[in-house]
Structure 1
Amino acid sequence: MEYNPQSKQEPLDTESEDRFASEQPSEFQQPYQYQEMKQDFKHSGPGIASFVISMVTVLGYVIAFVVVGAMATSVFDQSGNLLASASEVIITIGISVLILSALNVIGVVVGIVGLALRNRRKVFGIIGTIINGVIVLLFMMLISTVFVNAGGL
């Protein structure tokens, strides 16, 4: 658009008025404007990382409990008492759960970072944060239940 100021004393001739009237869109014809749609945004990298961390930890929990379940069959003797090798199974499950829960905390933090980014899709950030947060919450509830029940011994 050109800016062409006219003084108030000079009237516009009719030819220039017709020319300007034909260049301006009518009320039904809007000029084309590019509007950025949400579908044009990229996925946030931290959101994807949070989702991947949540999937890895869920798979890790499943594998850890299957392996420990298989190891636990040889932990008890015929009378149901724990053998001396039970400490290896208990340490294995404890370390694996602690490592996986630390990954879940990292996943929650990375997911929140992914949600804070502007002009990015937030789907993976939301899903990853929710899954990691639920697992962390369940782990905290498990620990608190153990502590409450251990006080009664």
Structure 2
Amino acid sequence: MDYNPPPRSELPEDPADPSLSGHGAPANNEQEYVFQENKRDFKHSGPGIASFVIALVTLIGYAVSFVFVGMQASDILSNSNEVIADSSATIMFLGLTVLILAAVNVIGAVIGIIGLTLRRRRKVFAIIGTIINGAILLLFMLLIATILVNAGA
């Protein structure tokens, strides 16, 4: 955005002569100003913002579902009657919630990667959203791997 005119030694000697002043440009001894976009002028990428919002929503969803299941588990443990029916419903709720939220995390990670590939856009939210969604997916895979290893033992 800074305009630096050329030194006086590089300017043509006779600005009245159109052949020396360029391709029909006005002979005012200045070059044509070319606007250069500054990186600070770029907009945030839409997919990046969407990925970040998806990551925050899934984090809140995981927290709410685990708190809800924890409250249900404390109620189940305090009442010894009908333990199997109540516990199976609670475990089913937790399993479905985690699977749905993991699928949403996959979508968020893909959208974050799309946000990273856009040109002339800021990538802050895309980076943060991709990292959070990827970390949650990694933890989900480690949880599944741990369950499968313990099931085999």
With the length of structure 2 as denominator, give the TM-score of the two structures. Answer: 0.77
Equivalent residue for 1:17, pick from 13, 35, 49: 13
Q: 1:43 is matched with which residue?
A: 44
Q: 1:84 is matched with which residue?
A: 85
CA–CA distance in 1 between the matches of 2:85 and 2:50?
41
Q: Which amino acid aligns with 2:65?
A: A
Q: In terms of Rg, which structure is larger?
A: 1
Cα shift at 1:18: 4.0
With the length of structure 1 as denominator, give the TM-score of the two structures. Answer: 0.77
How big is each residue's C-alpha offset from its partner over 1:54-86, in whole Å with a ceiling of 9 and x where there is no partner? 00000001110111111111222567x944310
Cα shift at 1:32: 4.0
Unaligned runs of 5+ in 1: 1-15
CA–CA distance in 2 between the matches of 1:55 and 1:108?
12
Q: Which amino acid aligns with 1:24?
A: N
CA-atom RMSD, angstroms?
2.3
CA–CA distance in 2 between the matches of 1:50 and 1:134?
13
Identity %: 58
Q: Which amino acid aligns with 1:146?
A: I
CA–CA distance in 2 between the matches of 1:106 and 1:55?
13
Q: 1:101 is matched with which residue?
A: 102
* Pairs aligned (count): 132
